[in-house]
Chains A and B, each alone.
Chain A
Amino acid sequence: MSLAPASDIVGTQKSRGRPLGLLLVALPVLLVFWMVIFPIISAVVTTLWQKGSDGQYGLSLRTYQFFFSDPYSLSNLWLTLWVTIVAAIILLVVCLPIALYLRFAKSRLASYVQGLSIFPLFVPSIILSFAFIRVLGPNGAFDIILNALHLPKIRTPYLTPWGPLIGLVWDHIPLTVLILLAGLGAVSDASIEAARDVGAGRGRLLWHIILPRIGNSILVALSFSVLGIFSAFTLPYVLGPAAPEMMGPFMQRTFRDLYDPDNAITQAVISFFFCIAFGLFYVRSVVKNQRAR
Chain B
Amino acid sequence: MPVDTTFKPPRQVDWAGIGFAVVLSIVIIFPLIVVGLWAFANVWRYPNVIPQEFGLRFWYQTLSRPDVWESITTSVELAVSVTVISSIICLPAAFAFARLKFPFRSLLFFSFIAGQAFPKFGLLVAIAGIFLSLNLIGTFWGVVLIQLVGTLLYMIWIPVAAFQGVSPRMEEAARDVGASPLRVFWSITLPQAGPTIGAAVLLTFVNTFYETEGAWLIGAPAVHTMPILMISFINNQPVIQYGAVLSAILWLPSFFALLFARRVISGGSFARGFGA
Contacts and interface: CB of A to CB of B under 8 A. Distances in A.
Interface string A27-67: 11101110111111011001000000000000000000000
A178 B265 contact: yes
Residue in B93, B161, B168, B276 with the greatest tally of chain A CB atoms within 10 Å: B276
Interface string A256-286: 1000010011011101100110011011011
Interface stretch (A68-76, A85-93, A142-150, A192-200): A142-150
Contact of A234 (B148, B161, B168, B212): B212
A131 B34 contact: yes
Interface in A145-204: 145, 147-148, 170, 173, 175, 178-183, 185
Interface stretch (B2-10, B58-66, B116-124, B194-202): B116-124
Nearest to A270: B122
A77 interface: no
A207 interface: no
B271 A181 contact: yes
Given A234-B212, A272-B122, A279-B117, A42 B17 contact: no
Describe B's contact surface by its main secondary structure. helix
A272 B35 contact: no
Interface string A92-128: 0000011001000101011011111111111111111
Interface string B175-214: 0000001001100010000000000000000000010110
**Chain A facing B: main interface SS:** helix
Contacts of B251: 123-124, 127
Contact of A271 (B18, B115, B119, B145): B119
Contacts of B43: none
B217 A255 contact: yes
A285 B28 CA distance: 30
A32 B118 contact: no
A272 to B, nearest CB: 5
A contact residues, range: 35 or more
A126 B227 contact: yes
Interface string B4-34: 0000000000101110110011011111101
Contact of A28 (B112, B117, B163, B254): B112
B219 to A, nearest CB: 10
A261 B119 contact: no
A145 to B, nearest CB: 7
B130 interface: yes
A119 to B, nearest CB: 5
A214 B258 CA distance: 29
Given A31-B152, A43-B129, A248 B121 contact: yes
A268 B122 contact: yes
Given A43-B126, A261-B132, A144 B99 contact: no
Interface string A221-241: 101100110111110011000
A46 B96 CA distance: 36
Nearest to B121: A231
A243 interface: no
A286 B274 contact: yes
Interface in B225-276: 227, 230-231, 233-235, 240, 243-244, 247, 250-251, 254-255, 257-258, 262, 265-266, 268, 270-276
A231 B119 contact: yes
B30 A40 contact: no
B108 interface: yes
B95 interface: yes
B216 A252 contact: yes
B76 interface: no
Given A124-B227, A220-B275, A286-B275, A227 B20 contact: no
B35 A113 contact: no
Which 10 pairs show the lowest CB-CB distances between chains A and B?
A5-B168, A21-B102, A231-B119, A279-B117, A21-B100, A182-B276, A11-B101, A24-B96, A231-B121, A179-B276
Interface of A: 1-8, 11, 13, 17-22, 24-25, 27-29, 31-33, 35-40, 42-43, 46, 97-98, 101, 105, 107, 109-110, 112-135, 139-141, 143-145, 147-148, 170, 173, 175, 178-183, 185, 217, 220-221, 223-224, 227-228, 230-234, 237-238, 247-248, 251-252, 255-256, 261, 264-265, 267-269, 271-272, 275-276, 279-280, 282-283, 285-287, 289-290, 293
30 contacts: A1-B181, A2-B100, A2-B181, A18-B103, A19-B102, A22-B102, A39-B130, A118-B266, A119-B29, A122-B254, A126-B212, A126-B234, A127-B35, A130-B233, A131-B247, A134-B34, A144-B46, A148-B47, A175-B271, A220-B274, A220-B275, A231-B122, A234-B213, A255-B128, A265-B126, A275-B118, A282-B275, A283-B114, A290-B110, A293-B272
